[in-house]
Amino acid sequence: MTLETPVSAFYGVGEKKAAAYARMGIECARDILYHFPRAYQRRGNIKSLCDVSDAEVVSLLLTVASRPINTMVKGRMTLTKFVAFDDTGKCTVTYFNQSYLADVFKLGATFRFYGKIKVRGNRYEMSSPAYEAYFEGKPLPEFFAVYPLSEPLTQKNVKDAVKIALSGCPLEKEDVIPGNIRDKYSLPPLKKALNDIHSPADYPSLAQARKRFVFEELFTFACAVTMTKNAVHGGRAPIIPQTDTKPFLDALPYTLTAAQKRCAKDILLDLTNKDGTPMARLLSGDVGSGKTVVAALAAYICCSGGYQCALMAPTEILANQHYKDISELFSKLGIKCSLLTGSVRASARKKILAELESGETGIIIGTHALLTDTVKFANPALVITDEQHRFGVMQRAALAEKGKDLHTLVMSATPIPRTLAHIMYGDLDISQIDEMPPGRQKVDTYVVNESFRERLNAFIRKQVSEGGQVYAVCPSIESEEEEGLVGLDFCEETEQKPKMKNAVEYCDKLRAALPECRIELIHGKQSGAQKDKTMRAFAAHEIDVLVSTTVIEVGVNVPNASLMIVENAERFGLSQLHQLRGRVGRGERKSYFILVSDSESEVAKERLNVLKENSNGYKIAEADLKMRGPGDFLPHGEHRAKQHGEFTFGIANLCDDMETLTDAFACAEEILREDPDLSSGEHAPLLKAARRMYGEEMKTVN
Ligand code: ADP
Ligand code: MG
């Protein structure tokens, strides 16, 4: 067995289980080993019955005192029931629909039970507790790992697979972190760390193991980013001739703000730079600050010089929106603009590709489809990526491969504090549009709880009857998605969070409550064409209320929208909420942003108030950074399904691991100074890991 052995080759893993693993992104032994527990139950903390209190989650060492009895209840359920004891009391234990357990709990045998206990006077009861057989002199592990799962996998399935991989894979030569760095930061070697993270003997070894994997992840990330940056700086991009920008500026219905002019100047200097160093620049600015026109100007400069540009958006909706805005402007300037997304039909696609290859097309706009090999340019110079607040290192790496001799401009709508921008966009120079175009109205923001539901519905009705439109945003489509989002958690009990609203159900309820409104649902699992259709209908005011998951946050412009309601607002990052707010208040109508949260937590309330009191994205970002650390700016805090090309950290949580990130970057720089392409044998696992994280595209970066 090697780390590459597919899970389907594991004992007991058939088609269904392999598919379940695949849904969690697990394909081979390595993935199994790096599928870390999301939490640990502290089962080693054994209590005596006399010390427990009602509803407590406890670990008990009990001996079976009565033969288990199976009985039928309600005609269809089997109930298995027995009594077990310790030195201080007796407890009734019950299980449902697992009649085979009657043979497991043998009279006189001892088990460690873990679960919630019910206490009534001196009577104790446990219902369906977890259990492990206990043998005298063979202590059970202190911690019990709990893994993220996907149906029909069980905890035991994953545990068994981990065991197989751990004993079967040769790990000595696979350590991503070179020995000298491990020594310097006192990090355990791979094998020990894997053992300790999956079945920790005690808390210190678990903490050490976690520290190691956090470092490993951030270090790999740092190496990949640094290599990309070095590769980009080492490339040669077309030197664009100086162009007169007047025709472009004259075609606009407004004049640029001072901030837009400043950023445009940065870009112009990069593009026309005589030494041919490729531009690698981040254009950041609040939602509505006018990034698109600055990017369009960059494209104009290139096209006027006889070159071509690509503009890549993270979703089809956004690609369509850009196309609409930019093609209108460019048609006035005599530059051919085309749109290429997954939903373009084969015949049209052929024509678009041919026109691009012949050089007729000046700017092509699309989604990741632009990254495929069939897309060929005659004379490319600039790639613009609109990633909004996504962490786009992977897209950037893919683009770096496609055009390492191209200029790149990345647009991001997350107002990030400078220090963080440095880390997240370590491979880019930064221009910030820190000023809004004139005449923006303030969006009134309120924080309410469930008791306002009736009034909220009445308010929607009022907006709609006055001709306005409404966004209602829920954090997720299905509540099951919640599971996979929990990070590695050392707490025994997770904090009680308000139940998450499900967009599908929510939409049904809203339709029932507001039968006179046209209400539609849009979410990330719909096809691109479906989403696009709904979005167009909303833009054309054929829909009054759009219920959505966060797919709409990306740059869609519907100026008639006057109200946005965000459900489970406590689950969103402040910057994300701020971005959502930018979707309303874009037109003439007085607009409102209402955050619904039933969270009792003071911190959550305080956070939401920041939003109520501030309208400047950079201020909100700073406040969030102070209150919560950088987590919300990074994918760890994102509440959406992972999409192609999207990068997320697995174990690292930059709220806590900021310092480690700094160390990781320092180590990466040091290593790459000695071995710029990681070609030495010792660095082979690191190079492989960087490629895995960044995508195969890494291989040609150097
Ligand atoms: P974002 O930065 O969110 O991408 P957009 O580029 O979509 O912002 O711009 C938002 C709106 O502001 C657009 O309708 C655009 O036409 C308008 N706009 C951009 N720049 C200016 C400006 N200098 N003056 C007035 N309106 C502007
Ligand atoms: Mg935009």
123 and 260 part of one domain: no
| Ligand 1 atom 26: residue of nearest CA | 437
Examine residue 537 and state whether it is found in any structural domain, yes or no.
Answer: yes
Question: 444 in helix, strand or coil?
Answer: strand
Asked if residue 665 is part of any domain, the answer here is no
Residue 393: predicted pLDDT: 53
Last residue of a domain, one of 614, 646, 668: 614
Same domain, 580 and 465: yes
User: Do both 386 and 254 map to the same domain?
Assistant: yes
Is 287 close to ligand 1, i.e. is its CB under 6 Å away?
A: yes
Determine contact, residues 352/360, Cβ cutoff 8 Å. no
Burial-class residue 437 by CB neighbours within 10 Å (0-12, 13-18, 19+). middle
Within a domain: 91: yes
Q: Is 256 in the pocket of ligand 1 (CB under 6 A)?
A: yes
Ligand nearest to the CA of 252: 1
* Residues 51 and 74 reside in one and the same domain: yes
Q: Which residues are in the CB-under-5-Å shell of ion ligand 2? A: 292, 555
Angle, nearest 10°, between helix axes 617-628 and 602-613?
160
pLDDT reported for residue 172: 86
**Residues 462 and 591 placed together within one structural domain of the fold:** yes
417 lies in the same domain as 525: no
Ligand 1 centroid distance, CA of 258 (Å) = 13
What is the CA(586)–ligand 1 centre distance, in A?
10
Alpha-carbon distance of 167 to 577, in angstroms, equals: 46
Q: Does the beta carbon of 322 lie inside 6 Å of ligand 1?
A: no
Which residue out of 263, 283, 292, 588 has the highest number of ligand 1 atoms within 8 Å of its CB and is therefore the one to mutate? Answer: 292
Q: For ligand 1, atom 17, name the residue with the nearest CA.
A: 290
Can you tell me which atom of ligand 1 is nearest the CA of 289? 2
Q: Which of 120, 140, 160 is the last residue of a domain?
A: 140
Cβ(290) – ligand 1 distance below 6 Å: yes
Is residue 237 in contact with ligand 1, taking CB distance under 6 Å? no
Q: Is any atom of ligand 1 closer than 6 Å to the C-beta of 293?
A: yes
458 and 381 both lie in a single domain: no
What CATH number does the domain containing 413 carry? Answer: 3.40.50.300
pLDDT for the residue 80: 95
Q: List per-block mean pLDDT (blocks of 10 residues) for the chain, which spans 702 residues.
A: 92 91 91 89 89 92 95 88 94 93 94 94 92 89 86 91 93 91 95 93 88 91 81 83 94 95 96 89 86 96 95 85 92 95 88 95 88 84 76 54 77 74 73 85 92 95 96 69 31 46 87 96 82 88 91 68 93 82 87 93 86 85 69 39 40 65 88 90 90 58 35
For ligand 1, what atom is nearest to the CA of residue 292? 6
d(CA 692, CA 488): 21
Identify the pLDDT of residue 490.
34
Q: Are 381 and 503 contained in the same domain? A: no
Same domain, 254 and 401: yes
Residue 559 belongs to what domain range? 444-614
Q: What pLDDT shows up at residue 498?
A: 59
Q: Which of 381, 402, 433 finishes a domain?
A: 433
Ligand 1 center–CA 591 separation, angstroms:
18
What global pTM score does this model have? 0.59
519-522 and 143-146 beta bridge pairing: unpaired
Q: Is 380 in the pocket of ligand 1 (CB under 6 A)?
A: no
Query: In this structure, are 409 and 538 located in the same domain?
Result: no
pLDDT value of position 579 = 81
Instruction: Please report whether residue 575 resides in a domain.
Output: yes
CA–CA separation, 491 vs 495, rounded Å? 9
pLDDT of residue 701: 37
* 449/59 Cα distance (integer angstroms): 37
617 lines ligand 1 (CB under 6 A): no
Residue 288 Cβ contacting ligand 1 at under 6 Å: yes
Mutation test of ligand 1: which of 255, 256, 291, 293 has the most ligand atoms closer than 8 Å to its C-beta? 293
Closest by alpha carbon to 409, among 388, 383, 434, 427? 383
Number of domains in the chain: 3
Beta carbons of 668 and 219 less than 8 angstroms apart: yes
Q: How far is the CA of 377 from the centre of ligand 2 (A)?
A: 25
CA–CA distance, 341 with 317 (Å, rounded to integer) = 10
Q: Are residues 589 and 456 in the same domain?
A: yes
Q: How far is the CA of 635 from the centre of ligand 1 (A)?
A: 27
Give the span between the Cα atoms of 456 and 100, in whole angstroms: 52
